[in-house]
Structure 1
C-alpha cells in the first residue's frame, strides 16, 4: 500500500469573491488530469460578509488504483496538516495562521494584502484596525513560503474577480503538479468571463513567479509648498511657514485645509491662533499631538457637516465605483435619517436652542414630528436639495448652540493641556490624546463625551499623582466599549472612581 498523502488545500474567501469557483476550478483541473478530487465548504460569518473555508484534497488516480480502491479524503482541514492556503484578504490569512492551518515546515500561503475591515474594526470607538504590517510579519513567520500582493487591485485592473487572480498566483507558485496550460484550460472549460479571467490569471502568474513579496512603494518626491490664489488662504499658508518649525508644516497645513473646507479661512485662522499658544509650551511633541487633535475637534460633525459630506461629488463617485455601476445603469442612494430633538436644538441659534430644550410644550411639539426617522434619496433632485439646504446652514455655525458648547469644551481642553504641561509634558500629551474620545454625532458623540468627561474628572481629582500610563489606560478603557464598563473597572482599579 502506498504511503502517498493527498495534496491538502484550504481556501479562505469572503462572500461574493468566488471562493467556490476557485475550489471548483481546482477540482475540475485535478479530475481532468488524472487525480481524484474532493471539495467541501464550511460557511462562517466571521463578523463580515460571509467568510467561508473551502477545503480541497487531491490524490493521484494511479496511486489509488495501485492500492486497489478509492482513497478516503477528509472533509475539513486540520491544524498542522495543510499544504497550501489561499486567502482572499489579509485578515483571512491571519485567521488561517491563528487556526494553525499555516505551518513553517510545509505550508505555502498565498494571500492578498488588501484589507476589508471587519465589523469589530469598523465599530470600535477608537482606531480598531488591525495593523497590516503585524499581520504580514506574523504570516511570514508562520508560513514555509509566503506569496502576497494586492490581488483585489490586480483583479480590478484586469476587469475580473479575485478568484482568477488567486488561481493565477497558485499556478505561478508551482506548488501543484500542473502546468500553466492545464490551469488555463480549466478556466476555458468554465465558459464564463473567460477573457477577463485569463487576463487576471496571466498577471497573477507573472507576479507570483517574479516575486513573493509586495513591491516596495516608490519614494514620494517632497511635496511642493502650496501656492493658493485666494489672498486669505495664502496669508494662512505664509503664517504657517513663518511662525512654525518646518517639521510641523505638513500637519498644520492639513489642519488649515480641513478647517477651510469645514468653515472658512477665518476659522482656520482661529486654529493657528490656538496652535501658536500650544507652541509656546515649548514641546514639539506636544504641539504635534495637540494640533492634530485640535483640527479634528474643531471640525466636529454637526448636522450641516454630515449633510455636506453626503452630497459631495466625491462620495457619489466613490459609491459608484464601489458598486461597479455600468454606463447603462442608474444609481440610487438612500439615506436613513432620524434627527433627535437635541440635534435640532444644537443646529439653532444658541439662545433659541436653549429655549427649545427647556420649554416643555415646544419640545413636545417638535418631538411629535421627529418620533420616526425617514429615508431620503440623496441621488434624487428633491433629496439632494433637502440635504443641500441643511449643509448650507453651516455658514451660520458660529451662532449655533452646538458651536457654543463645543467651543467651550475645546477651550477647557486647551487650558487643561497648558496647565498640565507646566508640570508634566508626558501627561499633557496624554491629555491631548483624550480628544479621541469625542467623535461622531448623535448617540456616538453623546457616549464619547460622557466618557471624556469621566476621564477628565479623574485627571482633576488625581492631579500630579496621576501617571501618564494610567491616563493612557483610562483612555483606552473608555475606547474599548461603548457602555463604559471597562472604564469604570479601570477607575475602580486605580482608586479613582
Structure 2
C-alpha cells in the first residue's frame, strides 16, 4: 500500500504577502522545487481586499513521491486542499511582522506544529495609519506573540536584506525558508528553482543568500521591560559647596549643549542653538528638533518666536522639565501646521524623491514618474490667500460653487514632470507671504490663547497644565480631519474650566483626550463629556 494511503500528510505552507512583494513568485518557487523533486505540488491564492487592508494568502501543499505500488482501485494522486486549515499548517511565511500576528490570530500558526518565518520590518496597516492618536501596534507585543504562537520562530529584517541586494522580499524570504531547514530539500535545490525562473536571477540569488544566513541567527526577542528609576525624596537642600559644584557643572553642560546644538542645526541657526542651552537639559533635544522644523517651515525669525513661546512655559516649570519638553514638542507641531504651501514643499523635497527612487530600486539612468492625488477644498485655498481676500472669498457662495465644480473629481499632478514640479515649486516659494495669509493669523492667535491657559494653570496645577499642552495632539491633518480636530480641541479646553480645582483634573482631561482620539466623528468624546457633565451636576445638586 502506498505511503499516502496509509495516513501520510502533505507539507503545508502558507505565505502571507502584500501586493508588489512577490508572494506569488515565492509560492511558485516552492512549487517548482517540489515538482523537480517528484513531489506532488499545488499552489492556490486568496487575494486580500487591497494592498494593505488584507494581504494575499498563497497556500502550497507538497506531497512526497509514493514509496510503493498503488493497490488495485487506489487513487494515483493525493487530493490536496486549496486553503490553509487552522491548526494544520506546517510553515507560515510572513512578509511583515503584523502579518505574522494575523497568521497567529487566524490559527494558521500554532505552537504545536508551525515554523514561523517572518520579516521583522513593519508596513503599517490602514487601521494604524488612520488612527487619530498613535495607532501603531507595539512591535514587542508582535515579537512576543511570534515566539509564543509558533513552534519555532525564524525572524530577521528580510525586507532590508532584499533592499541591500536590489531585489524584492520574496527572494530573501525564500532564503530564510531554505536556511530554516524546514523543508527536506538542499540549498542547491532551492537555488535551482530561482535560476530556472529566469527573472532577475543574480539579484534574487544575492537576496536569497542574505536571507539564508539570517535564518541561521537567533530570532529577535522583545526588549526587556525597563525597571523604574528610584527617586530619592526628602534629602533637603544641598550644602553650599555642592550648590557651587552643581552650578559649575550646569554651566559646563550648557556650553557643551550650545556647541553640539550648533553643529546639529547648522550655521543658519547658531543664535537659536545658543538659546537652547538655556533651557532644562531634558528639553534640549526636543527643542533642537523644533528649531530645525520651524526654520524649514518658515524662517529663523519664526524659530525665535517658537523659542519665546516655549520660554513662557519654562519660566513656570516647577518640576523636572516635563512641562518645557511637552511645550517644545507641541508648540513646534502646531506652529508647523499643514497648509497648501507646506504640502507643496514636502512633495518636491529632494530627500523624498530620492527615497522613492530607492524604494522602487530605480537605476541611476532610469526615469520614474511620481503622481500626486490631490483634492483641495475651499477652506484650504482661501486660507492660503491674504487675509482680506481670503475672508471675502470664503464667504462667497459663487466662489465656493466654482471651486467645488473644479475640484469635485480631484487633481492628479505629476511631480516629476516640468509642469507638475513647477506648479508645486511655485506654491512652495510663496512661503515668505505666509504670515499675511488668512490662516496664519488665526493659528497664531489660537496658539497664544492655548499657551496663556497653560501658563495660568501651571501655577496652580502642574499636571493639568501638562495635559493642556498634550491636547494639541488632536489637531491633525487638513480639510475635514482638521475641522473635526478643532472641534474636539475646543471642547477639551472648555472642559478644563469644569475640572479646575479638582484633584483628578489631569487624569480626567487625559481620559477626555483619549476619547477625542478614539474616533473621527467625536462620538466617544461627546459621551465622555456627557458623563463629566452628569458627574458635575450630581456634585452640585
The TM-score normalised by the length of structure 2 is 0.83
User: Which residue of the partner structure matches residue 247 of structure 2?
Assistant: none
Is 1:493 aligned with 2:497?
A: no
User: Does the CA contact (< 8 Å) of 1:149 and 1:214 recur in 2?
Assistant: no
Mapping for residues 72-91 of structure 1, pairs under 5 Å? 72-91=79-98
- The CA deviation at 1:232 is 6.2
Distance 1:404 1:96 in 2: 51
Is 1:194 aligned with 2:230?
A: no
Distance 2:412 2:179 in 1: 49
Distance 1:47 1:22 in 2: 17
Which shifted more, 174-183 or 225-234?
225-234
- The CA deviation at 1:111 is 0.4
Distance 2:112 2:416 in 1: 54
User: Which residue of the partner structure matches residue 428 of structure 2?
Assistant: 391
User: Which residue of the partner structure matches residue 402 of structure 2?
Assistant: 368
Which shifted more, 224-233 or 303-312?
224-233
From 12, 17, 21, the counterpart of 2:16: 12
- CA change 1:273–1:186 in 2 (3 A) is same
From 281, 285, 298, the counterpart of 1:246: 281
SS at match of 2:263: coil
- CA change 1:106–1:339 in 2 (3 A) is closer
User: Which residue of the partner structure matches residue 312 of structure 2?
Assistant: 277
Mapping for residues 303-342 of structure 1, pairs under 5 Å? 303-342=340-379
- The CA deviation at 1:487 is 1.8
- The CA deviation at 1:64 is 7.0
- CA change 1:276–1:4 in 2 (3 A) is same
- CA change 1:34–1:356 in 2 (3 A) is closer
SS at match of 1:227: helix
From 121, 131, 134, the counterpart of 1:124: 131
User: Which residue of the partner structure matches residue 263 of structure 1?
Assistant: 298
- The CA deviation at 1:186 is 1.8
Gaps of 5+ in 1: 217-221
User: Which residue of the partner structure matches residue 217 of structure 2?
Assistant: 210
User: Which residue of the partner structure matches residue 479 of structure 1?
Assistant: 517
Distance 1:92 1:449 in 2: 35
SS at match of 1:371: helix
User: Which residue of the partner structure matches residue 354 of structure 1?
Assistant: 391
Which shifted more, 142-151 or 204-213?
204-213
User: Does the CA contact (< 8 Å) of 1:338 and 1:370 recur in 2?
Assistant: no
Distance 1:174 1:230 in 2: 51
User: Does the CA contact (< 8 Å) of 1:164 and 1:198 recur in 2?
Assistant: yes
Distance 2:183 2:358 in 1: 36
Distance 1:158 1:424 in 2: 56
- CA change 1:323–1:78 in 2 (3 A) is same
User: Which residue of the partner structure matches residue 297 of structure 1?
Assistant: 334
Gaps of 5+ in 2: 224-256, 536-541
CA RMSD, Structure 1 to Structure 2 (Å): 2.7
SS at match of 1:130: coil
Aligned positions, number: 488
Distance 1:336 1:196 in 2: 33
Mapping for residues 408-427 of structure 1, pairs under 5 Å? 408-427=445-464
- The CA deviation at 1:386 is 2.7
From 484, 490, 505, the counterpart of 1:467: 505
- CA change 1:377–1:77 in 2 (3 A) is closer
- CA change 1:151–1:230 in 2 (3 A) is closer
Is 1:233 aligned with 2:269?
A: yes
Distance 2:392 2:209 in 1: 68
User: Does the CA contact (< 8 Å) of 1:47 and 1:120 recur in 2?
Assistant: no
Distance 1:366 1:39 in 2: 55
User: Which residue of the partner structure matches residue 152 of structure 1?
Assistant: 159
Deviation track 1:49-99 (CA, whole Å, cap 9, x = no partner) reads: 761112222222235757854333333222222221100111111100111
The TM-score normalised by the length of structure 1 is 0.90
- The CA deviation at 1:137 is 1.8
Deviation track 1:271-328 (CA, whole Å, cap 9, x = no partner) reads: 1111111112223122212220111001111222122222222222223333443445
User: Which residue of the partner structure matches residue 148 of structure 2?
Assistant: 141
Distance 1:228 1:176 in 2: 51
- CA change 1:335–1:101 in 2 (3 A) is closer
User: Does the CA contact (< 8 Å) of 1:37 and 1:56 recur in 2?
Assistant: yes
User: Does the CA contact (< 8 Å) of 2:31 and 2:43 recur in 1?
Assistant: yes
User: Does the CA contact (< 8 Å) of 1:15 and 1:49 recur in 2?
Assistant: no
Which shifted more, 417-426 or 259-268?
417-426
From 101, 115, 120, the counterpart of 1:94: 101
- CA change 1:15–1:49 in 2 (3 A) is farther
User: Which residue of the partner structure matches residue 113 of structure 2?
Assistant: 106
SS at match of 1:27: helix
Is 1:57 aligned with 2:61?
A: yes
User: Which residue of the partner structure matches residue 226 of structure 2?
Assistant: none
User: Which residue of the partner structure matches residue 219 of structure 1?
Assistant: none
Is 1:28 aligned with 2:65?
A: no
- CA change 1:324–1:182 in 2 (3 A) is closer
From 433, 442, 447, the counterpart of 2:470: 433
